Structure formats: structure tokens, C-alpha cells
Amino acid sequence: MFKLISGFFPNVANYWDIFMQALQATYQMFFIAGILTLLIGGIFGIALVVSKLDGIKPNRGVHFILEIITNIFRAVPFIILLIFLIPLTRSITGTSIGVKGAVVPLVFGAVPFYTRQVETALADVDAGKIEAARSMGSGTLGIVFRVYLHEALPDLIRVTTITAISLIGLTTSAGAVGAGGIGSFAINYGQNLHYQDIVNLCVILLLIIVSLIQLLGNTLSRATVNKELFHK
């Protein structure tokens, strides 16, 4: 593989160790921030649906606070958010650069987006099924897990796929301010040194990664839909 890359992308071969470190940094940022986004954004999205006025457990205060937080951080462009969160990032991780310095702004950038995606997916669940579950004595958690998450699973997989692809884009943007990863490698060793083959390989890699994520998401979504149809 190294010989193949050195033939088509000679400057990448010259910086091979740095290139591999960039790949590892991208993976770490995506994995760590992705897990946190999945957990926090999922909880926030569920809470927004549950706490709305016509939800299964209305709570005006909780709903208002979550709406404000989500709207504020969705409105701020990610590059500006990176700079704005530098003091908080340093206080949490001890640094504002590298993988550690990128995780905090990545989570703040991705969670509001995923929260809205989850909220939209859950809002499409048939109200009749929710009422049926309530009439059978299901509590809030029972309705969330047995109705909302179960019925919206195909849509949740789709929105998770969309968020994962968006997060890949955020990791490359984070590279512009010293976070490392493929984005940083493309800028520092491709654009700044005028090595077009480095930029080309980074673009190809990102296309492959995004395509694989989309393929996996589509496959899982279709599988869950087919399973639901089989049980019906």
C-alpha cells in the first residue's frame, strides 16, 4: 500500500508518519466526540419531545432551557465557537490544541444539531401508539424506550448517520486551528507547502469515509424497516 501511495502521492510518502498521526487524530476526535454527542444529544432530544406542552410529561421550564441552549449553539458558526470556547476547553482539558482541545468544541458544535435531529425523528411517532401505551399503564421511561425509540429507530439511524457525516466535517474544520487530523495535515502540508497531491489524497480519504458511513447507515436503516414490516 505504501508503494502504491508513494507512486501516486509522492509528497504524502515523504510525510508518512505525520500522515498516519493525522489519521489517528481524526479517528480519536470522531470517536470520542461522536460517543458524547450520541449520549448528550440523544438525551436532550428525548427531553425536548417529552417536556413539550403536548408531551407525555410537560415541563415548561425544562423545555424552555433546552430550547435556548440548543438555539444559541446552533446559531454560532463552528470556527467562531472553537475560539469562543478556548477558555472553557483549557479549564476542562488543560489545553486548547490537539485532540483533547478539539473534543469540547466538537461536542458543543454537534450536540445541538443532533438534538434537533432526534427531536424531529421522535416527533413523527404515531400519537395513537403513545396513547395506547399510556392506557396500558406505561410510565414515562416505558413510553420512551418501548414506543418512541422503538418506533423511530429507522429515522434515528438516519439522523445519526447525518450527524456522523457532519461531525467528520467539523473535525476537518477543527484542524484549521491546531486540532490536528486530516484537515490540519491538508492545510499545513498540502496547501501551505503547495503539495497538491496531499490535498487530493485527503479529499479522497474524506470521500471514502463519508461514503462508508452513509452506506452503513442506509444498510442499518433498511434492516430495521424490513424487521418492522416482518413483525407486522
Q: How far apart are CA 186 and CA 174, in angstroms?
A: 12
pLDDT for residue 54 is more than 90? no
pTM of this structure: 0.91
Rg of the chain's alpha carbons, rounded to an integer? 21
Residue-wise pLDDT for 20-34, tens only, equals 999 999 999 999 999
Residue-wise pLDDT for 93-105, tens only, equals 888 888 888 999 9
Residues 6+ away with beta carbon under 8 Å from 161: 213, 214, 216, 217, 218, 221
Question: Residues 61-82: what's their mean pLDDT?
Answer: 92
The CATH class given to the 24-181 domain equals: mainly alpha
Residues 6+ away with beta carbon under 8 Å from 228: 153, 154
